[in-house]
Chain A
Amino acid sequence: MHNKVGDYMGNSTQLLKGIMEGVILKIISIEETYGYNIYQKLMDYGFTDFSEGSLYPLLLRLERNNYINAIKRQSPLGPDRKYYSLTPDGAQLLKEFSDEWEKLSCNMKKLWEV
């Protein structure tokens, strides 16, 4: 099915799709953290439109592709909890994302200031 013109505009869920990997890598790069804490941080930083149910599959993708590393530690609630940290590959991907984002946001600013 083709997207109609304007489907991606004014729809932050669609806009967010491409950048959420970078956002999650950035959150994990700040400090070692666990799944539910990432959910809360996303909300705290205002990513409220990020589609519910999308975070865990994304974490799984990053982990399976060796961008993040998980260490299990005891949790007060029961099962061992995974704490995520960046791998060297993840740090490299985050740097590339950051450079691309800076370039894009700079171009957008320039255009909007015209």
Chain B
Amino acid sequence: MQQNLEGKYREVYISIGLYIHNSSIDDGLQNEILNDILDLFLQAQESNEEIDFITGADYKTFCDNVIAESMKKNSSHLKIVKFFKNILWFISYYITIKTLMVVGLYFIGSNKTLTLNINTLDLLILAGSIPSIYIVPFIASKKAFKPKKLLSIIVFSILSMILLIALLGIIAILSGPSFDMPLFAIPFYLPILLSWLIYILINRYYKNQCLKGA
């Protein structure tokens, strides 16, 4: 639906989305708030109103007020839980893709066993990617952030991810071990089950904590 927004409405809506997603508000409430704001924006746009009519002069102050009303208990403990929840979400997706590749290669005959080999490259990709996925929301949450710079920040985060992986790769090469050498091999179903199970448990805990804080 946000495609129906134009110009400044679209630009500010994307920025508000980033700002709200980086807050400690429960994911369900985040979606509800963004849906409410989208409806207000669409109507204001239809009536040719200035965006300030809805958000005031500074959309970040608007977001801060929305966040303050949503979170009665804005604890740092919740932020830490959310941080680990997001990392686990990323790891679970990575493991899912790798497992699908193992199963696919087994069925086409390239793999003889259904074993998941975790090697140095996997650890490098994870170690290099995780910090960079926090660059965009971190910068977007800063007061000095300008929505027009969003694209360059995304490019910057991708480049920093590649650079970090390359840097870790060089360190790994200098340290000795080969990228292909399995660090450990486990049955293909174990990591995918464990990672998603832990993610679901942490996510449920996080949502319960959000509800208690609301």
Contact = CB atoms under 8 A, between A and B. Distances in A.
Interface of A: 34-36, 39, 51-58, 60-61, 64, 75, 77-82
B81 interface: no
B11 interface: no
Given A39-B54, A64-B214, 12 more contacts: A34-B39, A36-B43, A53-B62, A53-B65, A54-B56, A57-B65, A57-B68, A60-B70, A75-B42, A79-B35, A79-B38, A82-B36
A114 to B, nearest CB: 39
Nearest to A80: B35
B57 interface: yes
Nearest to B64: A57
Nearest to B32: A82
Secondary structure class of chain A's binding surface, majority of residues: mixed
A61 B43 CA distance: 22
Residue in B36, B62, B70 whose Cβ sees the most chain A Cβ within 10 Å: B36
B53 A52 contact: yes
Contacts of A61: 69
Contacts of A79: 1, 35, 38-39, 42
Q: Which 7 A-B pairs have the closest CB atoms?
A: A53-B56, A57-B65, A78-B1, A36-B43, A77-B42, A60-B69, A52-B56
B168 interface: no
Interface string B183-207: 0000000000000000000000000
Contacts of A82: 36, 39
B68 to A, nearest CB: 7
Interface residues of B, number: 29
Contact of B66 (A36, A51, A56): A56
Contacts of A35: 36, 39-40
Nearest to A38: B40
Contacts of A81: 39
Interface of B: 1, 4, 33, 35-40, 42-44, 46-47, 52-58, 61-62, 65-66, 68-70, 214
A39 B57 CA distance: 16
Given A60-B33, A64-B69, A78 B56 contact: no
A82 B39 CA distance: 9
Given A77-B42, A77-B46, A78-B4, A53 B52 contact: yes
A12 B35 CA distance: 31
B91 to A, nearest CB: 32
A57 B66 contact: yes
B56 A51 contact: yes
Contacts of B46: 77
A39 B69 contact: no
A61 B72 CA distance: 10
Given A78-B1, A78-B4, A52 B39 contact: no
Nearest to A37: B43
26 contacts: A34-B39, A35-B40, A36-B43, A36-B44, A36-B47, A39-B40, A39-B54, A51-B56, A53-B56, A53-B61, A55-B54, A56-B36, A56-B40, A56-B66, A57-B66, A57-B68, A57-B69, A64-B70, A64-B214, A77-B46, A78-B1, A79-B38, A79-B39, A80-B35, A82-B36, A82-B39
